[in-house]
Each structure stands twice: as C-alpha cells, then as structure tokens.
Amino acid sequence: MGRDRLRVVCYSLVIGVALLGIWQASVAGNAPGKGLPGPAAVARAAGEMLANPFYNNGPNDKGIGLQLLASLGRLAVGYAVASLVAIALGVVLGLSPALYRAVNPYIQILKPISPLAWMPLFLYTIRDSGWAAVLVIFMSSLWPTLANTAFGVVNIKRDYLHVAAILQLSWWRRLMQVILPAAAPAIVAGLRISIGSAWVAIVAAEMLIGGTGIGYFVWNEWNNLALTSVIFAIIAIGLIGVLLDAGLGRLSRRLAWSE
C-alpha cells in the first residue's frame, strides 16, 4: 500500500510539472504583456491577490476572497433549500409507486433543461438578480438529489419496512430511523452530483447577473484583459469544487452501511 501510494504521488507530480512546463514553453516567445500569460505570471498575480483577498474598493473592484464568499453564500442557500425539497419530495415519490410513475415524465422533461434557461423567467418574476442566481442554483441541484432519493427509497428492502410495521413506529420515527438511513447512501450520492452541477452553474449565472461572485469576477477581469486573474480564478474554482466534493465524500463514508 505504502509503495503504491508513493508511486501514485510521483506520477501526479511528474504530470503536474510536465503540464506546467508545456504551458510555460508555449508562452515563452510572447512579448511581455502580450498573449497568454505563463504560469510564472499567474503565480505572481495569485500572490498579489492572495495577499489581500478581502479588500473592497467599490462595486467593480473587490478581492477574490470576497467574490468567492459571495458565490459560496448563494450556493449555500440555493443548494440547502433544493436539497431539503428534493429529499422530501423524493421520499414521498419513493414511498408511493403510483405517484412516482405519474410524476416521473415531468421530472424527465425538467431534468435536462440547463438551469440557466430559467434565468429570464426568474429575473422577470422576482426582479432581483441575486435571488435569480440563487434560484438557478436551486434548479441545478434539485434533480440529481430528487432522482437518487426516490431511487433509494423505492429500493429499501421490504424486511426493514416489515420490522418498522411490526414495531408500529410512528411515521416520524419510521422516517428518521428506517427510511432515511436506509436510503442515505443513495441520497448522498445524489447530493454529491448536485453540488457539482450547482458549482458549475453558479459561475455562468454570475457572469449573466453581474455584481458579485466569482463568475462575475472572471467576466470583469476578462473585460479588463487581466488574463492572469482569469486563469487564477479558474484554478480557484476548481480547487473549491474539489473541497465541496470531498466534504460530501466524507459524509457519504459516515452514512455508508453494508449488510
């Protein structure tokens, strides 16, 4: 195990250094300030941005930390509400096969719609771009959790429900002690897909609404032709995506069970 791991780390480092090398080599001929910036220039810009991530010099000049916090705040609200709705609805559908079959066609139609397609309707109806972005997050993180929860509940072994019936558990206790824990692995798998698609959607939504957020930051820096900032923001988006997924990965290991 130890040797295997060491080998994997070595491969990773070699690939990383190689990619950086290719990047650096491909931009080496550019005159200073022209063409794509290389890794050294991005690293320099990153150092500057990370030295003071939370400064606020008005609407068009905020630190990258503030922008990321704005995005994460929207994500938290939209994702939390979507997850609650999706799990509740998923349990109801999972427990009622007839309702599940009746509702499923609508879910199938709604699921493939890009959450951004809803944006004009949200802007028109609620007339607040910040909340419209939150609703886009809501739409993007609803379907995977809903589908997985319903699937998980449908497939709960009858034996567990028999035990719950014999013990005459109240509906609340049956939900909390039997149904949710039994379906938890499937539900968390859905939550994990949802947070990924929500994080993908927030960048695009913020490019559209402007104001704050990492998506707006990327677009604003592009308008300033500050490509070093754009590239650094891309890397930051990726790293935060990894952290979000790792958090849910940890939750999934805690709730996992085997027969």
Binding site for another protein (CB under 8 A): 159-160, 162-163, 165-169, 173, 177-178, 181-182, 184, 255, 257-259
Q: How far is the CB of 1 from another protein (least distance, A)?
A: 22
- Give the nearest distance from C-beta 98 to another protein in angstroms: 20
Separation in Å, CA 82 to CA 2, 137, 145, 259: 41, 8, 8, 30
Contact by Cβ (8 Å): 208, 119: yes
- Nearest alpha carbon to residue 221 among 206, 211, 236, 231: 231
Least spacing, CB of residue 251 vs another protein, in Å: 14
Q: What whole-number distance in Å separates Cα of residue 114 and Cα of residue 125? A: 18
| Least distance to another protein, CB of residue 159, Å | 4
- Closer by beta carbon to another protein, 182 or else 231: 182
| SS3 label, residue 62 | strand
For residue 146, the minimal CB distance to another protein (Å) is 22
Instruction: Name the residue nearer to another protein (CB basis): 160 or 222.
Output: 160
Of 41 and 182, nearer to another protein (C-beta) is: 182
Please calculate the CA angle 254-256-258 and round it to the nearest 5 degrees. Answer: 140
Q: What is the DSSP string of 190-210?
A: HHHHHHHHHHHHHHHHHHHH-
Closer to another protein by Cβ: residue 4 or 159: 159
| Structure-token pair, residue 88 | 């509740």
Distance CA 129, CA 122 (A): 8
**Residue 4 half-sphere exposure, CB side, CA atoms within 13 Å?**
1
| Pick 50 or 165: Cβ nearer another protein | 165
Q: Which is nearer to another protein, 179 or 209 (CB)?
A: 179
CB of 42 to another protein, least distance (A): 46
